[in-house]
Structure 1
Amino acid sequence: MPQAGERIGFRQALHDSLVVARRNLLRMMRIPEIVVFGLVQPIMFVVLFAYVFGGSINIPGAGLDADAYREFLMAGIFAQTVTFATAGASAGIAEDMQKGVIDRFRSLPMARGAVLTGRTIADLTQTLVTLIVLALVAFAVGWRIHDGVLNALAAFGLLLLLGYAFTWIGALIGLSVRSPEAATSGGLVWLFPLTFISIAFVPSENMPGWLQPVAEWNPFSATVLAARELFGNLPAGYEAPDSWPMQHPALASVLWSIVIILIFRSRAVRKYRGAAG
């Protein structure tokens, strides 16, 4: 066991992170409401958007085809689900701060970043479970995978990578506010414009001209389009916008996610260390 103040290596830091992740997963299992309510919202979005908006939104290459819209929609719902896990990360860390759990971790001879890394790993695991359930619901309303299992797994991998990146934004928010309630609000207020000013629910072609570049350079949009391509959910006549992220969505998705992780992980760990000092 390393002593306080001793430099901790990668293996020990990984071990510490997994211990913290296990602690958070056990806590989630003991409070099943966390998982249940996390599933209810995306399921409601699937049903409402599929049957309320299906047939009323024009999809390039498919027109007002309700079935085409359901397939077009699902990648957006998946992406929204993984990014909304940010609010849970924010609230969880803020609650630990408020209850003094973080202070107890600080007193232990463990890697400083392990507390945050463990929390984000636990949130990623919960998000994976949510995605599996949501995919089953999507199958029930008519969504299908057309380009093979490997491509579908790659699509889910991009979605989870984006979700993991966004949990680091949530971690920083959770460390920056004074209560779980404020963390929940702070974790959601910026997500709504991010997800809706994107190609998640409507094509960018349907937006005002000045808003289209904003939607197309949105990291959320790159992941959504990449997932649609990998799932085979784009209509045969669909043509992607000319902007670079829309022409190379998978690469853009990976780059956006890595940049977000690098920026917000370093800021969150610095915030944690500053508070510890």
Structure 2
Amino acid sequence: MSAVVHAGLLTARAYRGTVRIPVFAVMNLVQPMIWLLLFGQLFRSVVEIPGFAAPGDSYLEFIAPGVVMMTAMFGAAWAGTSFVQDMDRGVMDRLLASPASRAAMLVSTMAWYAVIAVVQGLVVLAVAWLGGARFDGGPLGIAVLFAAVVLLTCLFAAMSNAFALLARSQEALIGLSQLIVLPLMFLSSAVMDTRLSAGWVADAARFNPFDWAVVAGREALTGSADWGLVGSRLGLLAAAVLVMTWLATGAFRAYRASA
């Protein structure tokens, strides 16, 4: 069978695992909802600060794309847990001995977490809309937002899988993931316009893949998007996904060498 068929079968396996225990997908929405609803009210007056985003935007409209990306990144950071579970149960060794390619194993995980991230992102946008947020970008803007969601999810799912193969421990995977995702979230424009942050924060955000996704999604949702900016950020994300997928595929060799 081809790698595409293998990836499809393994994605269906991941789907069945999520359907059996859907509470984890639901729980991953709790923290983003707190950010969206609580922070959306607590800091709604910051839009009045001179230089904050575009005049007239509500803070809820500003933070909603950031929360969508936070949901995607936090969820994808847990993708490697399925690899760790497969290692503990001896499934990983059987998969590696089967005709299934390493790429198919990676792509299936990335694809399934991307599906989850899109569904969760739709929920976040719906709640933001009920809260009064309006997005002038229309269907095209929303489609571009979710293109960024998919790329961001694939990037961090591949990273999480690589960590899992190298660390081979649930605790180590969680520690490494949190060590990376939390700083990336705060060194971005997800919850605060970096023009109002310290200069070094804005400089760091320029090299932050999470911020690339936030900027692309937020810009696409505006009524007058800078499509050059959007395209450059999506291009950077796509390049990062390719590099991380290549690195994660190489992590399989490190796993087999240490088995």
| TM-score where L is the length of structure 2 | 0.89
* Map of 1:115 onto structure 2: 105
Q: Which runs of 5+ in 2 are unaligned?
A: none
Please, which of 245, 250, 259 is the counterpart of residue 270 of structure 1? 250
After superposing on structure 2, the runs of 4+ consecutive aligned residues of structure 1 that deviate more than 6 Å are: none
Structure 2 Cα separation of the partners of residues 192 and 151 of structure 1: 27
Alpha carbons of structure 1 residues 249 and 79: separation in structure 2 relative to 1, 3 Å: farther
Aligned-partner residue type, residue 227 of structure 1: G
Structure 2 Cα separation of the partners of residues 144 and 261 of structure 1: 30
Q: Is residue 74 of structure 1 aligned with residue 54 of structure 2? A: no
* Map of 1:252 onto structure 2: 232
8 Å contact kept, 2:113–2:153:
no
* Map of 2:205 onto structure 1: 215
Q: Is residue 31 of structure 1 aligned with residue 21 of structure 2? A: yes
* Map of 1:226 onto structure 2: 216
| TM-score where L is the length of structure 1 | 0.84
Residues 192-224 of structure 1: per-residue CA shift (max 9 Å, x gap) = 111111111111111122332212332222322
| Structural mapping, 1:77-96, within 5 Å | 77-96=67-86
SS in 2 for 1:18: helix
8 Å contact kept, 1:154–1:230:
yes
The structural deviation recorded for 1:247 is: 9.0
* Map of 2:37 onto structure 1: 47
The structural deviation recorded for 1:233 is: 7.1
8 Å contact kept, 1:87–1:186:
no
Q: Is residue 139 of structure 1 aligned with residue 119 of structure 2? A: no
Structure 2 Cα separation of the partners of residues 124 and 61 of structure 1: 30
Q: Is residue 158 of structure 1 aligned with residue 148 of structure 2? A: yes
Structure 1 Cα separation of the partners of residues 191 and 25 of structure 2: 25
Structure 2 Cα separation of the partners of residues 144 and 40 of structure 1: 22
Q: Is residue 261 of structure 1 aligned with residue 241 of structure 2? A: yes
* Map of 1:237 onto structure 2: none
The structural deviation recorded for 1:21 is: 0.7
Structure 1 window deviating more from structure 2 (221-230 vs 31-40): it is 221-230
Residues 145-203 of structure 1: per-residue CA shift (max 9 Å, x gap) = 21221222122212222222221111111111132232122222211111111111111
Q: Percent identity?
A: 27
8 Å contact kept, 1:113–1:269:
yes
8 Å contact kept, 2:135–2:222:
yes
Structure 1 Cα separation of the partners of residues 157 and 16 of structure 2: 19
Query: Which of the pair has more CA radius of gyration?
Result: 1
Residues 36-60 of structure 1: per-residue CA shift (max 9 Å, x gap) = 1122221122112101222145324
Q: Is residue 13 of structure 1 aligned with residue 3 of structure 2? A: yes
Structure 1 window deviating more from structure 2 (173-182 vs 247-256): it is 247-256
Structure 1 Cα separation of the partners of residues 178 and 144 of structure 2: 27
Alpha carbons of structure 1 residues 60 and 39: separation in structure 2 relative to 1, 3 Å: closer
8 Å contact kept, 2:110–2:153:
no
- Number of residue pairs matched? 254
Structure 2 Cα separation of the partners of residues 203 and 104 of structure 1: 48
8 Å contact kept, 2:114–2:149:
no
Structure 1 Cα separation of the partners of residues 4 and 227 of structure 2: 37
Q: Which has the higher helix share?
A: 2
SS in 2 for 1:144: coil
SS in 2 for 1:190: helix
Q: Is residue 102 of structure 1 aligned with residue 92 of structure 2? A: yes
Structure 2 Cα separation of the partners of residues 26 and 17 of structure 1: 14
Structure 1 Cα separation of the partners of residues 149 and 109 of structure 2: 18
SS in 1 for 2:219: helix
Alpha-carbon RMSD across the aligned residues, in angstroms, is: 2.2
Aligned-partner residue type, residue 176 of structure 2: G
